[in-house]
Structure formats: C-alpha cells, structure tokens
C-alpha cells in the first residue's frame, strides 16, 4: 500500500522547471499562483466556438457535463477536432512550445445539478518538470449566478497526488467545505479571455442559478514532445499508468480500463486525510522554498513499482 508523505523527499537530481508562458512577468505569476488570465488575441473566435456547441447535439439536456463524458465517440472526436481548429490558434501564441491534447465543452444547463466538485485535473504527462495545462475560456458570460471559477492559489506547489479515472482518493475530502469557504478564491474570467491553469491547481465551480445555459470550452495542452499518460485506478485500489496517443482523450469512455502501453503499476494507492491546519501549513512551507525544493515535496505514490 502506498501512502502520501507530506515531508520533502530528496532526489539525487532534479530537472529544471520548464516555462509555460512566453511573457516572463506572467510566467512568474503563473509559477506562484498556478494560473493567469489573459485576453485572447482575437476575441471574435468565441462566436465560431459557440456555434460548434449549438450545432453539434450532445444529447444531454440536464445537469453539468463535459463533452468528454459522452459515450458517443463520434461526438467527442468532432468536438475536439472543430474546437481545436478554432481555439488552438488563439492560445498557442501565449504558450512556450506547447501542443494541444484535447478540446471539449464544459456545460451547465439551466436545470439539474451543475456543481463541479473541488478537484484537480488528471495527470497527463510525467510531472517531474511540471504538469499539463488547462486553457479554460467562457463562451457565455459567467457571473456569480452561473458559478465562477474558484481556485486555491499555489496548490500546484504542494498537492501532487495521483489523479486519473475513474476516481482517486484525495487527502482533502473530509475538509472540502472548510477548504472551499476559507481558502479558495473566485477568479474573474470574461468572454474573450482565457484562464491558463496548471493541472494540479485545486478548483471548483458552483451551482448555476442563473436560469441560463452556461457554456465554457477548454483545451488541455502538453509541452511539445511530451508523452501523454493516463492513470487508471481499479476497484481494488491498484493503479496502472498507460502511455497513450493524444486521440485517447477524445475516444475512451471514463470508467473503462484504458488501451495503451502499460508503463507503471502501483499495487494499492491510498491517501491519509489532512486537517485544514495541515493543509495551511503545507501552503505556507511551499511559499518559503525555491522552485527546485518545491519539486522535492511530492507524493510518494508516484514512484515506479
């Protein structure tokens, strides 16, 4: 059984942190907070992206969904293809040598349960030099009524657990309400802007009470040349890590054992619960150390077995 260890682990050698953004000033903010909000080079691209949503029927009418949640592989692949063609040219100039992985819609209809729980995005690459990124952008206005993006700034520096499908245990589950209410902050992202976020940043969005459809798009991206990975946790707690093709993320069905080349296994992955005081202390420690030291504070469960 593998448990999370909050104490720093000293490695014999550590890679250099890679850059995410071309703008050095914004890069410093990104490394500190784990996210930045930027204007799209051409905000008029929002219109064609929204047209794709309106034209391609998901078949889902109630409750929150992301297009990759659909069991219709043709639908997922078409959304990925058309949305990437429109939005990747908008975000690529902002990024330092990244390639697109998958594009999708994140939709909150006017009815049903639309809360997106507190979570971190899946691991999509070897995170020794940083995580994959999510480029998240509203296609319709998002106010408090629709449920703004809400994040824990800096959490990418110290919450480095295993993340994948269909679900992994997390150490903050027992304190999630306190964590959200006391530590997380809302982020203003307007139509025509993009939020570039480290995949390890803890985030959530609240219930849509507006009576209107809320539509956002996202693009996951990896540094050029990165091998895409997917972590799968079986019902017995065993974890398998697969090297996959980029098309995997728009074609597989969540909950199924992935196809791909098995590169790592962990017999049983569990985590111990954190208190809010422990989480706050981890955040304070992460602000006192340099970038390379931050890499040493990791989850022991990521070691190969």
Q: Taking 70 as the threshold, does the pLDDT of residue 1 lie above it?
A: no
**pLDDT bucket at 106, cuts 50 / 70 / 90:** very high
In the chain, what are the domain boundaries? Answer: 24-302
Distance CA 197, CA 204 (A): 13
Q: What is the pLDDT of residues 107-118, one digit of tens each?
A: 999 999 999 999
pLDDT above 70 (res 304): no
CB 116 within 8 A of CB 205: yes
- pTM, two decimals, is 0.89
Taking a C-beta distance cutoff of 8 angstroms, is the pair 70, 78 a contact? Answer: no
Strands (E), the chain: 35-39, 65-66, 98-108, 116-119, 133-138, 149-151, 185-187, 193-198, 203-205, 214-223, 229-233, 239-243, 261-266
DSSP 172: T
Alpha carbon distance 226, 252 (integer Å): 20
**Among candidate residues 296, 147, 127, the one with its CA nearest the CA of residue 228:** 127
Return the pLDDT at 288.
76
CA separation for the pair 120, 216 (Å, rounded): 17
Q: Does domain 24-302 have CATH number 3.40.640.10?
A: no
């Amino acid at each position: 059984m593998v448990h999370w260890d909050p104490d720093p682990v000293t490695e014999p050698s550590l890679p250099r942190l890679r850059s995410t953004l071309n703008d050095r000033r914004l890069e410093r903010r990104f490394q500190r907070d784990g996210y930045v909000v930027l204007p799209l080079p051409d905000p008029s691209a929002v219109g064609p992206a929204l047209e794709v949503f309106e034209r391609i029927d998901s078949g889902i009418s109630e409750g929150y969904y992301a297009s990759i949640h659909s069991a219709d592989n043709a639908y997922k692949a078409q959304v990925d293809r058309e949305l990437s063609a429109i939005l990747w040219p908008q975000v690529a100039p902002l990024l330092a040598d990244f390639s697109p992985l998958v594009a999708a819609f994140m939709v909150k209809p006017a009815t049903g349960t639309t809360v997106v729980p507190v979570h971190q995005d899946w691991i999509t690459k070897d995170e020794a030099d940083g995580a994959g990124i999510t480029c998240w952008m509203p296609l319709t206005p998002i106010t408090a009524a629709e449920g703004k993006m809400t994040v824990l700034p800096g959490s990418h520096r110290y919450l480095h657990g295993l993340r994948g499908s269909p679900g992994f245990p997390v150490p903050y589950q027992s304190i999630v309400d306190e964590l959200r209410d006391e530590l997380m902050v809302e982020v203003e992202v307007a139509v025509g802007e993009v939020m570039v976020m480290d995949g390890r940043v803890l985030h959530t969005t609240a219930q849509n009470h507006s009576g209107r459809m809320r539509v956002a798009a996202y693009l996951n991206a990896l540094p050029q040349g990165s091998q895409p990975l997917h972590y799968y946790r079986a019902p017995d707690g065993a974890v398998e890590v697969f090297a996959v093709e980029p098309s995997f993320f728009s074609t597989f069905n969540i909950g199924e054992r992935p196809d791909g080349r098995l590169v790592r296994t962990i017999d049983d992955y569990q985590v111990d619960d954190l208190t809010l005081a422990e989480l706050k202390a981890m955040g304070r420690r992460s602000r006192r150390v340099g970038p390379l030291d931050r890499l040493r504070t990791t989850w022991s469960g990521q070691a190969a077995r």
